[in-house]
Amino acid sequence: MASYNWPCSLIKEGDNILLNYIWIEDSKKGKGVTLKWEKVRKPINEGGLGVRSLGEVNNVMLCKLHWVFKQRSEDWALFLKSKFSTKSEGTICYHKPSTIWSGIKIGAALTKPSICWLIGDGKKIDFWRETWAIEITLMEYIELPVHMWKLYTAKLNNFIKTQGWQFPNDIRLLLRALGIHVQQLQCNPNNQDTMIWKPDLRGAFSRKNAFKTLHKGEDTTWWWKYVWNNAIHPRQGGFALRLLNHLLPMDDTIMKKGNPGNVGIGIIYKDNKGDVMGTYGKATGHATNYIAEITTIISGVQ
């Protein structure tokens, strides 16, 4: 899960196992009246149970995989970079078999809006292919044939000198046309470039923060603080959750399942060794399953 993209069929099967276990503690059996999985996997403050879908977990782990890959600090990252990159530092356009690389590409698409750079000496930042000045790359602004981009290999450090920025006039005009004011961008030639995770105040990537970033939040429910309060027993909280989501077996729901209906009771009497001492049974007419169970208990005691 942490290194490749799971098939949708496998994720669906895993989610079904989780859902069945939550309601009846048996992953192989289903239950008639339950909270839909789309509701269960919502955060608690949105009215769900906070159980994360395997698909969401897989996406977050792929985001982490891509984050580590872009750091270029691990040997495996350097290997994959050399295998799937062109000489101009771009990504190859043809297929090479690799389950890990496909996961990295998915992670790149998910994390792209949330990654930026704190500019240091500019040696790690691709001038054309990284989001160092605006929300998207310069490459996306400029329409050029794909084969020509292999000629554009400049790093940001090509334009950083000891005294600061130093752009040629044509590049400066291009940046100005794109609304990039170089004078407002800070660089520090004495430090290395640092990749920043924008949703975090410290710029550090974490799985928890990535989940919040990828999750499309909804309105917070008014009752979640009361239902999941430390002073409330979990059993009572679960009852309140079913009540607020209209999952309790009301009369109309019960009648759709043939309840009430014709009822009969049966009793088996056994001694302390488990041997059968006798049996008893009778028809009790038309009643609900609850009344039938109460009647059985009373008849057995009598």
277 assigned to some structural domain: yes
Same domain, yes or no: 205 and 112: yes
With respect to residue 147, please indicate whether it lies within any of the assigned structural domains. yes
Do both 264 and 134 map to the same domain? no
Is residue 58 located within the same domain as residue 119? Answer: yes
User: Are 79 and 150 members of one domain?
Assistant: yes
* One domain for residues 268 and 142: no
258 in the same domain as 192: no
Length of the chain equals 302
* Per-residue tokens: 46: 């949105």
Distance (Å, whole) CA 38 – CA 274: 47
Within-domain flag for 123: yes
* Position 57 in a domain: yes
- Which range of residues forms the domain containing residue 271? 251-301
Does a structural domain hold residue 239? no
Residues 203 and 255 in one domain: no
Among 165, 198, 214, the domain-final residue is: 214
DSSP 265: E
Same domain, 148 and 269: no
User: Is the residue at 154 inside a domain?
Assistant: yes
- The per-residue pLDDT for 198 is 92
Q: How many domains, the chain?
A: 2
Q: For 196-239, how does the pLDDT look when each residue is reduced to its tens digit (9 = 90+)?
A: 999 999 999 999 999 989 988 788 888 888 888 888 888 788 78
Number of helices (H), then strands (E), in the chain: 12, 6
Among 36-50, 57-71, 257-271, where is mean pLDDT lowest?
Answer: 257-271
* 8 lies in some domain: no
Do residue 171 and residue 60 come from a single domain?
A: yes
Query: For residue 170, is pLDDT > 80?
Result: yes
Q: Do 78 and 143 reside in the same domain of the chain?
A: yes
Per-residue pLDDT for 33 more than 50? Answer: no
Query: For the segment 47-95, what is each residue's pLDDT rounded down to a tens digit?
Result: 888 888 899 999 999 999 999 998 888 888 888 888 888 777 677 777 8
% of residues, the chain, pLDDT over 90: 13
- Last residue of a domain, which of 168, 188, 214? 214
> What single string gives the DSSP state of each residue in 16-34?
HHHHHHHHHS-TT---SS-
Q: Is residue 99 part of a domain?
A: yes
Please determine, for residue 279, whether its predicted confidence score (pLDDT) is greater than 70.
yes
Tell which of 185, 214, 243 closes a domain.
214
- The reply to whether 65 and 183 lie within a common domain is yes
65 and 168 in a common domain:
yes
Lowest model confidence (mean pLDDT) among 7-16, 188-197, 217-226, 280-289: 280-289
Whether the Cβ atoms of residue 259 and residue 289 lie closer than 8 Å to each other:
yes
